[in-house]
Amino acid sequence: MKMKILPLFSLFVSGLLITDTLQKQGAFHTTQNDGPYVMYKGNKVYVSYILDNHGARVPKIDSFDYNEKPGITLTVATDIAGKTFPVQLKSTLENEKTEYGKPEKMFVVSDIEGNFAAFRKLLQGNKVIDDNLSWTFGKGHLVLTGDFFDRGSQVTEVLWLIYSLEEQAKAAGGYVHFVLGNHEIMNMNNDLRYVNPKYIQNATLINEPYLALFGENAELGRWLRTKNVSEKIGDFLFVHGGFSSEVNTLDMNLGRLNKLVRPFYGDTSYNYKDPKVDLLYSDLGPFWYRGYYASRPATLATQIDNTLALYKVKHIATGHTVIADTISVLYGGKVFNTDVPHIKGASEGLLVENGKYYRVSPLGEKFQLLD
């Protein structure tokens, strides 16, 4: 009887052979290009890195028994050459709550899109993390309002930083919230229009379809499936796009809304068979809607008031739509737009502290909003 060898295992062996050959030839000088990707197959855990050896990308795949998972420590690259940070895999993954009390301070960032350098500088400059990328924000809450995928070249590294900060924040009495945007949903649903080409190529190097990298048998895929599309934190409603009048009409609490959309993360059929789910995944849904910033008709003020009343909040914070190079406040302080063009160097975050609101720079400069 012939034994079938898993493609990933086959590549694991070949990756080791390539690595070993290059080392013996004295030609193996690598930097980390991408990864790690943690995949589960049977009772095995495969940890895949893509290394850059003199311009050639080489896969390095480590294999562990599943019962060794608690002892696995990942090494993740940063935007600084030679600088890495460790990540311990979580023992369990649970769906996030929908509502949270008011924290002593909040730092809000959106639409990083694989730009690790911009993300790091914003967090370090505002004392959310230190030089070692460790949590220093105490009991504060870091709120990420979607679109950390696509376009940039360090998406994986950005995701692992968020993943690792979650446990550190909890240990300090703080919290990290990752609200999904349309680009997270697109990547899980195999809509790859904005994926940096290197990720498609790297998936091929480890003999996996791109969709599997964030699928149900991948650690990052399982983790993403625990996230919400909207959360209420204190008197803020956080959502990537916004709440259209059509979604308001559903008169649906946030818990129900998140529960309704979650089963379809990763659904590539786009055949939801439920008009409510169809609406939530449409251009009028919470992670695609742009209506707050389009023509801004007078009726929007009433629509926004209806959303605030429905969810018993005072403010809505979104990402998704760039309307300026700075954090913007609209509708008399009812709506905060946190999407800025990080890629152009116009990087800012929103700081909420002691009842005041600030847009802040990567240097920690504070500019008060809503005098």
What's the mean pLDDT in 67-85?
Answer: 96
DSSP state of 218: B
Are the beta carbons of 144 and 166 closer than 8 angstroms?
A: no
What's the mean pLDDT in 82-93?
Answer: 96
Q: Other CB atoms closer than 10 Å to residue 331's CB: what's the count?
A: 17
pLDDT digits (tens, 9 = 90+) for 220-245: 999 999 999 999 999 999 999 999 99
Sheet holding 105-109, edge to edge: 175-178, 141-144, 105-109, 349-353, 356-360, 366-369
Q: What are phi and psi of 173, to 5 degrees?
A: 90, 5
What are the structural domains, with CATH classification, of the chain?
7-71 (no CATH), 99-369 (3.60.21.10)
The rounded percent of the chain whose pLDDT value lies above 90 is 88
What's the mean pLDDT in 180-187?
Answer: 97
- Beta-strand ranges (E) seen in 54-104 are 56-65, 73-77, 84-88, 99-100
Question: Is 31 a residue whose pLDDT tops 60?
Answer: yes
Looking at residue 46, what is its pLDDT?
98
What's the mean pLDDT in 1-30?
Answer: 42
Question: Is 114 a residue whose pLDDT tops 50?
Answer: yes
Q: pLDDT band for position 294 (50/70/90)?
A: confident
What's the mean pLDDT in 40-64?
Answer: 95
Sign of torsion over alpha carbons 201, 202, 207, 213: negative
Question: Is 3 a residue whose pLDDT tops 70?
Answer: no
Question: What mean pLDDT, rounded, does the chain reach?
Answer: 92
What's the mean pLDDT in 132-145?
Answer: 98
Looking at residue 295, what is its pLDDT?
75
- Write down the pTM of the prediction: 0.92
Question: Reduced to 3 states, what is the DSSP secondary structure of residue 328?
Answer: strand
Question: Is 354 a residue whose pLDDT tops 90?
Answer: yes
Are the beta carbons of 30 and 53 closer than 8 angstroms?
A: yes
Question: Is 342 a residue whose pLDDT tops 70?
Answer: yes
- Least confident range from 8-17, 245-254, 352-361: namely 8-17
Sign of torsion over alpha carbons 223, 89, 175, 290: negative
- Least confident range from 26-30, 225-229, 356-360: namely 26-30
Looking at residue 296, what is its pLDDT?
67
Are the beta carbons of 262 and 256 closer than 8 angstroms?
A: no
The rounded percent of the chain whose pLDDT value lies above 70 is 91
Taking each continuous run of H as one helix and of E as one strand, the counts in the chain are 11, 17
